Structure 1
């Protein structure tokens, strides 16, 4: 705990005669690795909470919405092989800092530091609270580039950068290849368990950096932690878009998220287009006649009018419906049953199927409610497979269904309907048509062109710089040719559009935005996998990743209200001047939408 309130006495802080204090500067140099793997040195306030330090740093970097990012500690390959709690039992001595107090982080070590997020419900009212909740502010720090900052591959050295504008300009585009030190620090998880162990590195946002064992000149990684990117605007977010692009690129290259071979080639093609456009003049995004207000009004008009529902008076009461023949299968263990064709209808967020189209006036074979469902694409362009994996909540967990479409157009229409249903929206929603178009555009980029538009001999393309290792081994000598064929589909994209297309394609992957954690239920020795996304929590199979049970935030209002209520009650003190903070109470118990 930092003693930042100079007007308070040591007794008010709960400091006794036997206490050991450390006299140290509040501002120290921190080496930060950015999402594009560049290392930079910054002056950071070590006395502020990690969240506030990230906000201050993002302000220097010119990144809007800093709440999407956080600091995490560098991990080694050995850290992915064991759970950290088990590893610490063997190496307790390595968890102590200079004064013998265990370093307090979000998950690394069981902590007892004041104001930590772990065990927040266990804090008693007698615990000592800082008289001043907000540390004294200080002037902004300066930054400097280290000689090993990852720009060496460009054969340039930058001793200093004057002004935030110059810094933002340098961060809008990244070096083509990171430094050797940065490449060696990359981790490639080989299983879902190792992916989950990577999340142990995040710092606790409610504690200061120094309280978590970080000292001056230590290295921390700045990464996007919450994958819900708000208002990505090329006019204001050149740095933010580039860093999101870089983090998504390395997550795919390191196989932190899975994709198909066609998707990998599409990502490689988009990355190649970005590299080719870096040194080309780009259109001025500020020269357009349409300003932000006009753009917002157009989006509002589309959302109000709808895009595919007929606007004539006769069709106002009409409920949109999809109907077509699809192949269908319920996966079962130890069975050799294949797909059977049925006639499906989708209406009012319900899926019904019949033997044929003439049987629609009869009772359906089965009616499937799509509320709270999970939808996963199962597409292979080369094999002409356009499948949809559907997981529907049931009393004993999740019921699996597999639907197979005949064409891309049919797949796009049904996939869009089920994606909207998983969000609680019906076919009447105005976003249906745009969802169909985005799916078709995503598929079209995966089709190889008849012939590449670039000569392979004119470019020095190293496949390992564009593709994950397993795909490089699989394609071998044909990798460059396949990348150039895929590049023909995106050859006309300017720099920013190519980055945004890469980000959108990354967001369309089935495993996007799911943070994995290893958990053990009370009384059980077996480890299970818990996935946390922006709208749901999933209990998952640690071997296959299948969803065993899903809880959506919008259906957990009562549960969240109790959790938030008890957190609020645990923050009460015996201070006579304490007032009831009803605004904080509603924030903690309000739930999510």
Structure 2
């Protein structure tokens, strides 16, 4: 109600109701529209007359789901009127965060800043470099994969969601052990209370909620006897065997406790089709909006995962935690069948996992500190290797003739598959030069006119390899006027396959064999194949280490576990293990990550879409360097557009469609399985990541990220 002054004049003031959430006390202030937000908070604190630190508090407008953080803006500018009910609430609140390795930590997060900055804060506290590669997503129920989601996840029954995770509520008791369930009874069967260094639960660390200077704060120091003290990382007095909180947390994050697949599956979604893989991406939070604006409340459960599969500068010296978390996300994506792999690849992944668990368990003594061994020499060797590559370029070019264009020339078997038509491979003499492959009937005809010439630029290359049967092939999808044209190539031996596959992968990225990375790409493929070989040799005795109890179900996905008997799986994994048993801990994790990156589906985020003017549902895949239009059911590529041909990208908010303006024309579509902003953010995010320079000291340009992912020109 407007206030009447002494001269019966209306002064334009009115009463504003504000709830102080900490105290559950409501205050009514008389204000006018010209009063700025800072003034409102000052009057409110004066009205409360309570001596406490209010610096972390801000005004929240529940009806509009909006923070009022610009202290110089007025109530009129925000549109606040007499019917508004505001909350005065802390900006930092607790959140239950599940990391890629499935550990759950209670952490303090800024609910008022955008998600991008909130993730930066989380990663800084966890010791993970390059936070731009990660983001937060809401927990999805398995039922969410069975239908296109029409309502936001925060509109679900929160009580049901909270009850579901109460049984996994973890905390730390007085002696540093993990407590399980709300009644704090110790549950030794929980997959999250086992130490990565042994069966004792006392080595697994749980991050406690709180604020600086209060018990349970993430800023405090945890000692084995349970003493919590605020001493800037120093140990509490009288504690002889105290362990600094930061180093204990880093150890727990760098060497994750082993978790059985049976226990882990309750936290994982298992998509069974491309449609279900697309629906997973609905759960990503918008990086440009705050947590509160997206329905996340104090104590809610969220997942911190790697969102963009463009990993920058993985350093064994500085990224022990980051490498481990990437490895864990890779491992669970394979075991949950989020990514498909062949049987041979599955055994190789299982062998690497065995080696990692052996090294994490301390078998082999000092190998467990693999990330810190001989760091100076590793840095020097890496620097010299990079310098040599930049100076020499590809070894295919003669040192005396830098103008010579690298070329591959071999007999290759060729097939153009067609439906309902049985055709056999035909053998041709093929030359691969720049981005073009020329086909001749024989080597003698190579000086004449080729019978066919195909430009591989922008192709998609997928391995078609079976080492057991000596099969080395590549399935290629070549851009054509009517979409993607499929061709198959078959090679005689491993060396030939590796060179052609490396050339195809470079061409798919817009590069050629003249690029300095060609030789390293060939070597990487050769190393990957060598790890998949399971042929026994007299020199390599196959035995299962006594220190590791191998449950085959924990090392391969359910699909492979059902196809092969358990004893055979263990034997084949241990055969493959002979190829990797000399690897150190971090080396084995990096090898696992590289093998994961080599899978055909790696790095593709799927969305169900409808092209503008079409009624047919299709699939679109967002890749680190391209956009792929795909068949919804089979996942076959129909058309590919590379980012280097993308002139602009934006969202038409009126009809909620994504518009991509390529050099060859515009692509416009609506997203059915996720918000159009999510699709746009993936594209803009990958372009942002591609702009990172080689300067290790570069600062993260937050403003540029939001400009590229905001959805506007």
Mapped to 2, the partners of 1:239 and 1:538 lie a distance apart of 32
Mapped to 1, the partners of 2:488 and 2:592 lie a distance apart of 28
Q: 3-state SS of the aligned residue for 2:75?
A: coil
Mapped to 2, the partners of 1:544 and 1:485 lie a distance apart of 34
2:110 aligned partner: 45
Mapped to 1, the partners of 2:67 and 2:311 lie a distance apart of 33
1:507 aligned partner: 597
Mapped to 1, the partners of 2:660 and 2:408 lie a distance apart of 42
CA distance 1:480–1:263, change in 2 (3 Å):
same
Mapped to 1, the partners of 2:153 and 2:575 lie a distance apart of 54
CA distance 1:413–1:51, change in 2 (3 Å):
same
- The structure that has the greater radius of gyration is 2
Shift of 1:445: 0.5
2:253 aligned partner: 171
Mapped to 2, the partners of 1:362 and 1:182 lie a distance apart of 61
Unaligned runs of 5+ in 2: 1-65, 160-176, 182-189, 209-221, 223-243, 653-658, 662-676, 678-702
Mapped to 2, the partners of 1:240 and 1:559 lie a distance apart of 31
Of 281, 297, 302, which residue of structure 2 is paired with 1:199?
A: 281
Single out whichever of 298-307 and 174-183 deviates more from structure 2: 174-183
Say how many residue pairs are matched.
526
- CA displacement 1:445-471 (0-9 Å, x = unmatched): 100041674534834211110000010
1:89-168 matched pairs, under 5 angstroms: 94=155, 147=180, 150-153=191-194, 154-157=199-202, 158=205, 161=222, 162-168=244-250
1:432 aligned partner: 518
Q: Of Structure 1 and Structure 2, which has the larger fraction of its residues in strand?
A: 2
Do the aligned residues in 1 keep the contact of 2:93 with 2:111 (CA within 8 Å)? Answer: yes
1:488 aligned partner: 578
Shift of 1:14: 1.8
Shift of 1:311: 4.2
Shift of 1:291: 6.5
Do the aligned residues in 1 keep the contact of 2:626 with 2:641 (CA within 8 Å)? Answer: yes
1:68 aligned partner: 133
1:415-454 matched pairs, under 5 angstroms: 415-450=501-536, 453-454=541-542
Of 470, 490, 498, which residue of structure 1 is paired with 2:559?
A: 470
Q: 3-state SS of the aligned residue for 2:354?
A: helix
CA distance 1:96–1:386, change in 2 (3 Å):
same
Q: 3-state SS of the aligned residue for 2:383?
A: helix
- CA displacement 1:102-140 (0-9 Å, x = unmatched): xxxxxxxxxxxxxxxxxxxxxxxxxxxxxxxxxxxxxxx
Do the aligned residues in 2 keep the contact of 1:199 with 1:516 (CA within 8 Å)? Answer: yes
Shift of 1:19: 2.6
- CA displacement 1:70-111 (0-9 Å, x = unmatched): 1111111110000002xx4xx99945999xxxxxxxxxxxxx
CA distance 1:484–1:217, change in 2 (3 Å):
same
Shift of 1:443: 0.5
Mapped to 2, the partners of 1:145 and 1:328 lie a distance apart of 59
Single out whichever of 151-160 and 60-69 deviates more from structure 2: 151-160
Do the aligned residues in 1 keep the contact of 2:138 with 2:153 (CA within 8 Å)? Answer: no
2:70 aligned partner: 5
CA distance 1:312–1:231, change in 2 (3 Å):
closer
Do the aligned residues in 1 keep the contact of 2:154 with 2:296 (CA within 8 Å)? Answer: no
Mapped to 1, the partners of 2:316 and 2:457 lie a distance apart of 35
CA distance 1:289–1:22, change in 2 (3 Å):
closer
Mapped to 2, the partners of 1:175 and 1:213 lie a distance apart of 32
Structure with greater contact order relative to length (CA < 8 Å, sep ≥ 6) = 1
Single out whichever of 13-22 and 368-377 deviates more from structure 2: 13-22
1:298 aligned partner: 385
CA distance 1:585–1:434, change in 2 (3 Å):
closer
Do the aligned residues in 2 keep the contact of 1:530 with 1:539 (CA within 8 Å)? Answer: yes
Do the aligned residues in 1 keep the contact of 2:333 with 2:339 (CA within 8 Å)? Answer: yes
Q: 3-state SS of the aligned residue for 2:486?
A: strand
Shift of 1:302: 1.5
Do the aligned residues in 2 keep the contact of 1:270 with 1:490 (CA within 8 Å)? Answer: yes
- CA displacement 1:355-387 (0-9 Å, x = unmatched): 111111221111111111111111111222111
CA distance 1:213–1:96, change in 2 (3 Å):
farther
Mapped to 2, the partners of 1:564 and 1:367 lie a distance apart of 30
Of 3, 17, 20, which residue of structure 1 is paired with 2:82?
A: 17
1:114 aligned partner: none
Do the aligned residues in 1 keep the contact of 2:473 with 2:497 (CA within 8 Å)? Answer: yes
1:277 aligned partner: 359
Mapped to 1, the partners of 2:297 and 2:179 lie a distance apart of 18
Q: 3-state SS of the aligned residue for 1:171?
A: helix
Please tell me the root mean square deviation across aligned C-alpha atoms, in Å.
3.0
1:544 aligned partner: 634
Of 456, 459, 484, which residue of structure 2 is paired with 1:398?
A: 484
Do the aligned residues in 1 keep the contact of 2:458 with 2:642 (CA within 8 Å)? Answer: yes
Do the aligned residues in 2 keep the contact of 1:342 with 1:354 (CA within 8 Å)? Answer: yes
Shift of 1:293: 6.2
Mapped to 2, the partners of 1:340 and 1:18 lie a distance apart of 78
